[in-house]
Amino acid sequence: MTEQLRLMAVHAHPDDESSKGAATMAKYVSEGVDVLVVTCTGGERGSILNPKLQGDKYIEDNIHEVRRKEMDEAREILGVKQEWLGFVDSGLPEGDPLPPLPEGCFALEDVDHAAGELVRKIRSFRPQVITTYDENGGYPHPDHIMTHKITMVAFEGAADTEKYPEAEYGPAYQPLKVYYNQGFNRPRTEALHQAMLDRGLDSPYGEWLKRWDDSGHKDRTLTTYVPCADFFEIRDKALIAHRTQIDPDGGWFRVPLELQKEVWPTEEYELAKSLVATSLPEDDLFAGIRDNV
Protein backbone atom coordinates (compact mmCIF):
# COMPACT_ATOMS: atom_id res chain seq x y z
CA MET A 1 0.00 0.00 0.00
CA THR A 2 1.34 3.42 -0.99
CA GLU A 3 0.79 6.36 1.35
CA GLN A 4 -1.04 9.33 -0.14
CA LEU A 5 1.14 12.26 -1.19
CA ARG A 6 -0.11 15.49 0.40
CA LEU A 7 0.81 19.11 -0.31
CA MET A 8 -0.19 22.07 1.87
CA ALA A 9 0.07 25.62 0.48
CA VAL A 10 -0.10 28.33 3.16
CA HIS A 11 -1.22 31.73 1.86
CA ALA A 12 -2.06 35.10 3.38
CA HIS A 13 -5.21 36.09 1.47
CA PRO A 14 -7.76 34.67 -0.95
CA ASP A 15 -6.24 35.14 -4.44
CA ASP A 16 -2.63 34.46 -3.32
CA GLU A 17 -3.10 30.75 -4.02
CA SER A 18 -4.02 31.54 -7.64
CA SER A 19 -1.10 33.89 -8.31
CA LYS A 20 1.61 31.83 -6.60
CA GLY A 21 2.07 28.17 -7.44
CA ALA A 22 -1.43 27.58 -8.84
CA ALA A 23 -0.31 25.65 -11.92
CA THR A 24 1.89 23.46 -9.71
CA MET A 25 -1.06 22.64 -7.47
CA ALA A 26 -3.32 21.85 -10.44
CA LYS A 27 -0.62 19.57 -11.85
CA TYR A 28 -0.30 17.64 -8.61
CA VAL A 29 -4.08 17.35 -8.26
CA SER A 30 -4.17 15.80 -11.74
CA GLU A 31 -1.63 13.22 -10.55
CA GLY A 32 -3.72 12.24 -7.54
CA VAL A 33 -1.87 14.29 -4.92
CA ASP A 34 -4.06 15.60 -2.08
CA VAL A 35 -3.64 19.39 -2.05
CA LEU A 36 -4.86 21.71 0.72
CA VAL A 37 -4.70 25.51 0.61
CA VAL A 38 -4.70 27.16 4.03
CA THR A 39 -5.73 30.82 3.81
CA CYS A 40 -4.66 32.81 6.86
CA THR A 41 -7.04 35.77 6.53
CA GLY A 42 -10.32 36.61 4.83
CA GLY A 43 -8.90 39.48 2.82
CA GLU A 44 -11.29 41.86 4.56
CA ARG A 45 -9.10 44.93 4.09
CA GLY A 46 -8.16 44.24 0.49
CA SER A 47 -8.82 47.04 -1.97
CA ILE A 48 -10.98 46.49 -5.05
CA LEU A 49 -8.22 46.40 -7.66
CA ASN A 50 -10.34 45.62 -10.71
CA PRO A 51 -11.29 49.04 -12.14
CA LYS A 52 -14.47 47.58 -13.62
CA LEU A 53 -15.79 46.86 -10.11
CA GLN A 54 -14.58 49.95 -8.29
CA GLY A 55 -17.45 51.97 -6.89
CA ASP A 56 -19.73 48.94 -6.58
CA LYS A 57 -21.42 49.66 -3.25
CA TYR A 58 -22.53 46.06 -2.64
CA ILE A 59 -18.98 44.76 -3.04
CA GLU A 60 -17.55 47.51 -0.86
CA ASP A 61 -20.05 46.76 1.91
CA ASN A 62 -19.69 42.97 1.66
CA ILE A 63 -16.05 42.50 0.68
CA HIS A 64 -15.46 39.65 3.13
CA GLU A 65 -18.40 37.63 1.80
CA VAL A 66 -17.54 38.43 -1.81
CA ARG A 67 -13.95 37.30 -1.40
CA ARG A 68 -15.06 34.04 0.25
CA LYS A 69 -17.25 33.31 -2.77
CA GLU A 70 -14.36 34.11 -5.09
CA MET A 71 -12.19 31.69 -3.12
CA ASP A 72 -14.86 28.98 -3.44
CA GLU A 73 -14.83 29.40 -7.22
CA ALA A 74 -11.04 29.39 -7.49
CA ARG A 75 -10.83 26.30 -5.28
CA GLU A 76 -13.18 24.40 -7.58
CA ILE A 77 -11.22 25.44 -10.65
CA LEU A 78 -7.91 24.29 -9.17
CA GLY A 79 -9.38 21.09 -7.75
CA VAL A 80 -7.84 21.70 -4.33
CA LYS A 81 -9.21 21.62 -0.81
CA GLN A 82 -9.19 24.90 1.09
CA GLU A 83 -9.53 25.92 4.73
CA TRP A 84 -9.44 29.26 6.54
CA LEU A 85 -7.14 29.93 9.48
CA GLY A 86 -9.56 32.62 10.67
CA PHE A 87 -7.37 35.68 11.20
CA VAL A 88 -8.25 39.23 10.15
CA ASP A 89 -6.55 40.91 7.21
CA SER A 90 -4.02 43.55 8.30
CA GLY A 91 -4.33 45.71 5.20
CA LEU A 92 -1.33 47.21 3.44
CA PRO A 93 -0.22 50.36 5.32
CA GLU A 94 0.76 53.21 3.05
CA GLY A 95 2.31 56.60 3.71
CA ASP A 96 5.42 58.12 5.24
CA PRO A 97 5.55 57.51 8.10
CA LEU A 98 3.55 54.29 7.84
CA PRO A 99 0.41 54.24 9.98
CA PRO A 100 0.12 51.63 12.76
CA LEU A 101 -1.47 48.31 11.93
CA PRO A 102 -5.13 47.96 12.98
CA GLU A 103 -5.81 46.37 16.35
CA GLY A 104 -6.67 42.66 16.20
CA CYS A 105 -5.17 42.08 12.76
CA PHE A 106 -3.20 38.99 11.73
CA ALA A 107 0.20 40.70 11.66
CA LEU A 108 -0.15 41.70 15.33
CA GLU A 109 -1.06 38.22 16.56
CA ASP A 110 1.34 36.39 18.84
CA VAL A 111 3.44 34.28 16.46
CA ASP A 112 3.39 31.11 18.58
CA HIS A 113 -0.38 31.35 19.07
CA ALA A 114 -1.06 31.88 15.38
CA ALA A 115 1.37 29.10 14.48
CA GLY A 116 -0.55 26.82 16.83
CA GLU A 117 -3.66 27.25 14.69
CA LEU A 118 -1.62 26.17 11.68
CA VAL A 119 -0.20 23.26 13.68
CA ARG A 120 -3.77 21.98 14.04
CA LYS A 121 -4.15 21.99 10.26
CA ILE A 122 -0.79 20.31 9.69
CA ARG A 123 -1.43 17.57 12.23
CA SER A 124 -4.88 16.92 10.77
CA PHE A 125 -3.89 16.97 7.07
CA ARG A 126 -0.38 15.47 7.52
CA PRO A 127 1.36 16.98 4.46
CA GLN A 128 4.81 15.79 3.49
CA VAL A 129 5.43 19.14 1.73
CA ILE A 130 4.46 22.70 2.65
CA THR A 131 4.83 25.83 0.51
CA THR A 132 4.78 29.41 1.81
CA TYR A 133 6.61 32.75 1.42
CA ASP A 134 10.18 33.72 2.22
CA GLU A 135 11.14 35.99 5.13
CA ASN A 136 10.35 39.06 3.00
CA GLY A 137 6.87 37.76 2.28
CA GLY A 138 7.60 37.68 -1.44
CA TYR A 139 6.80 41.38 -1.10
CA PRO A 140 6.64 43.25 2.20
CA HIS A 141 2.94 42.96 3.02
CA PRO A 142 2.64 42.46 6.80
CA ASP A 143 0.32 39.45 6.32
CA HIS A 144 2.76 37.77 3.95
CA ILE A 145 5.62 38.24 6.38
CA MET A 146 3.45 36.89 9.22
CA THR A 147 2.48 33.92 7.05
CA HIS A 148 6.16 33.11 6.65
CA LYS A 149 6.77 33.39 10.39
CA ILE A 150 3.94 31.13 11.49
CA THR A 151 4.63 28.54 8.79
CA MET A 152 8.25 28.14 9.83
CA VAL A 153 7.27 27.86 13.51
CA ALA A 154 4.50 25.39 12.67
CA PHE A 155 6.81 23.26 10.49
CA GLU A 156 8.86 22.50 13.60
CA GLY A 157 6.00 22.84 16.09
CA ALA A 158 3.81 20.18 14.48
CA ALA A 159 6.16 17.57 15.96
CA ASP A 160 6.69 19.38 19.29
CA THR A 161 4.26 17.95 21.84
CA GLU A 162 5.62 20.09 24.66
CA LYS A 163 4.93 23.36 22.90
CA TYR A 164 1.72 22.15 21.25
CA PRO A 165 0.26 19.32 23.40
CA GLU A 166 -1.50 16.52 21.55
CA ALA A 167 -4.56 16.80 23.77
CA GLU A 168 -5.21 20.29 22.39
CA TYR A 169 -3.64 20.28 18.94
CA GLY A 170 -3.92 16.65 17.80
CA PRO A 171 -1.37 13.86 17.27
CA ALA A 172 2.17 15.03 16.52
CA TYR A 173 3.37 14.98 12.94
CA GLN A 174 6.55 16.12 11.18
CA PRO A 175 6.36 17.47 7.61
CA LEU A 176 9.43 16.66 5.53
CA LYS A 177 10.01 19.71 3.31
CA VAL A 178 9.07 23.38 3.21
CA TYR A 179 9.47 25.61 0.15
CA TYR A 180 9.22 29.31 -0.57
CA ASN A 181 7.21 30.37 -3.61
CA GLN A 182 9.59 32.21 -5.97
CA GLY A 183 7.55 32.54 -9.15
CA PHE A 184 8.31 36.26 -9.43
CA ASN A 185 12.01 35.80 -10.08
CA ARG A 186 14.46 37.67 -12.28
CA PRO A 187 15.42 34.86 -14.72
CA ARG A 188 11.77 34.21 -15.59
CA THR A 189 10.91 37.90 -15.81
CA GLU A 190 13.91 38.72 -18.02
CA ALA A 191 13.24 35.73 -20.30
CA LEU A 192 9.60 36.65 -20.84
CA HIS A 193 10.46 40.34 -21.23
CA GLN A 194 13.03 39.62 -23.94
CA ALA A 195 10.73 37.14 -25.70
CA MET A 196 8.00 39.78 -25.90
CA LEU A 197 10.41 42.36 -27.33
CA ASP A 198 11.83 39.84 -29.84
CA ARG A 199 8.31 39.31 -31.17
CA GLY A 200 7.63 43.01 -31.44
CA LEU A 201 5.20 42.96 -28.51
CA ASP A 202 4.86 45.43 -25.65
CA SER A 203 6.29 43.82 -22.52
CA PRO A 204 4.63 44.42 -19.14
CA TYR A 205 7.94 43.77 -17.39
CA GLY A 206 10.12 46.73 -18.39
CA GLU A 207 9.12 48.95 -15.45
CA TRP A 208 9.16 45.94 -13.14
CA LEU A 209 12.81 45.17 -13.99
CA LYS A 210 13.74 48.84 -13.69
CA ARG A 211 12.23 49.02 -10.19
CA TRP A 212 14.22 45.97 -9.19
CA ASP A 213 17.43 47.56 -10.49
CA ASP A 214 16.72 50.90 -8.81
CA SER A 215 15.89 49.27 -5.47
CA GLY A 216 18.92 46.97 -5.41
CA HIS A 217 16.67 43.91 -5.53
CA LYS A 218 18.55 40.78 -4.47
CA ASP A 219 17.82 37.60 -6.38
CA ARG A 220 16.74 34.53 -4.46
CA THR A 221 18.17 31.03 -4.86
CA LEU A 222 15.95 28.94 -7.13
CA THR A 223 16.25 25.27 -6.32
CA THR A 224 13.15 23.68 -7.81
CA TYR A 225 11.54 24.07 -11.24
CA VAL A 226 8.20 22.29 -11.55
CA PRO A 227 7.09 21.70 -15.18
CA CYS A 228 3.44 22.73 -15.29
CA ALA A 229 2.80 24.57 -18.57
CA ASP A 230 -0.19 22.35 -19.33
CA PHE A 231 -1.93 23.93 -16.33
CA PHE A 232 -1.31 27.62 -17.06
CA GLU A 233 -4.86 28.00 -18.40
CA ILE A 234 -6.27 26.60 -15.15
CA ARG A 235 -4.01 28.96 -13.18
CA ASP A 236 -5.30 31.97 -15.11
CA LYS A 237 -8.93 30.89 -14.83
CA ALA A 238 -8.56 30.53 -11.05
CA LEU A 239 -6.93 33.95 -10.81
CA ILE A 240 -9.71 35.58 -12.83
CA ALA A 241 -12.21 34.05 -10.38
CA HIS A 242 -10.86 36.58 -7.85
CA ARG A 243 -12.54 39.29 -9.87
CA THR A 244 -12.33 42.01 -7.21
CA GLN A 245 -8.55 41.66 -7.22
CA ILE A 246 -7.72 40.98 -10.86
CA ASP A 247 -8.51 42.88 -14.06
CA PRO A 248 -8.78 40.24 -16.81
CA ASP A 249 -7.60 42.89 -19.28
CA GLY A 250 -4.67 43.94 -17.10
CA GLY A 251 -0.94 43.29 -17.08
CA TRP A 252 -1.22 39.83 -15.54
CA PHE A 253 -2.51 38.46 -18.85
CA ARG A 254 -0.55 40.45 -21.44
CA VAL A 255 1.98 37.70 -22.15
CA PRO A 256 0.38 35.14 -24.51
CA LEU A 257 0.01 31.69 -22.98
CA GLU A 258 1.74 29.96 -25.87
CA LEU A 259 4.75 32.23 -25.44
CA GLN A 260 4.85 31.48 -21.71
CA LYS A 261 4.68 27.76 -22.37
CA GLU A 262 7.50 27.95 -24.91
CA VAL A 263 9.84 30.31 -23.04
CA TRP A 264 9.25 29.47 -19.37
CA PRO A 265 7.14 26.34 -18.77
CA THR A 266 7.84 25.96 -15.04
CA GLU A 267 7.01 27.44 -11.64
CA GLU A 268 9.92 28.03 -9.30
CA TYR A 269 10.56 27.42 -5.61
CA GLU A 270 13.31 27.80 -3.05
CA LEU A 271 13.85 24.77 -0.82
CA ALA A 272 14.00 26.23 2.69
CA LYS A 273 14.16 23.08 4.84
CA SER A 274 14.32 19.40 4.05
CA LEU A 275 14.46 16.37 6.32
CA VAL A 276 15.05 14.04 3.37
CA ALA A 277 17.99 13.73 1.02
CA THR A 278 17.50 15.41 -2.34
CA SER A 279 19.66 16.55 -5.24
CA LEU A 280 19.45 20.14 -6.49
CA PRO A 281 18.12 21.42 -8.77
CA GLU A 282 14.82 19.54 -8.48
CA ASP A 283 11.81 19.27 -10.79
CA ASP A 284 9.44 17.88 -8.17
CA LEU A 285 8.41 19.17 -4.73
CA PHE A 286 8.22 15.53 -3.63
CA ALA A 287 11.79 14.71 -4.69
CA GLY A 288 13.31 12.46 -2.02
CA ILE A 289 9.84 11.59 -0.73
CA ARG A 290 8.09 9.63 -3.48
CA ASP A 291 10.29 6.57 -3.18
CA ASN A 292 9.76 6.43 0.58
CA VAL A 293 5.97 6.56 0.61
Of 201, 219, 237, which marks where a domain is finished? 219
In this structure, is residue 1 part of a structural domain? Answer: no
Single out the residue of 58, 47, 26, 128 nearest to residue 94, CA to CA.
47
- Tell me the pTM: 0.96
Is the domain of 214 the same as that of 278?
no
Whether 11 has a binding-site annotation, put simply, is no
Domain that holds residue 192: 186-219
Is the domain of 210 the same as that of 280?
no
Per-residue pLDDT of the chain (293 residues; tens, 9 = 90+): 357 999 999 999 999 999 999 999 999 999 999 999 999 999 999 889 899 999 989 999 999 999 999 999 999 999 999 999 999 999 998 888 888 999 999 999 999 999 999 999 999 999 999 999 999 998 889 999 999 999 999 999 999 999 999 999 999 999 999 999 999 999 999 999 999 999 999 999 999 899 999 888 889 999 999 999 999 999 999 999 999 999 988 888 999 999 999 999 999 999 999 999 999 999 999 999 997 77
Is the domain of 211 the same as that of 235?
no
Whether 144 has a binding-site annotation, put simply, is yes
Is the domain of 207 the same as that of 88?
no
Is the domain of 23 the same as that of 108?
yes
Query: Computed over its alpha carbons, how large is the radius of gyration of the chain?
Result: 19
DSSP string, 147-173: HHHHHHHHHHHTT-TTTS-HHHH-S--
Single out the residue of 292, 146, 282, 290 nearest to residue 221, CA to CA.
282
Of 197, 219, 241, which marks where a domain is finished? 219
Cis geometry, peptide bond prior to residue 127 (ω within 30 degrees of 0): no
In this structure, is residue 202 part of a structural domain? Answer: yes
Domain count, the chain: 2
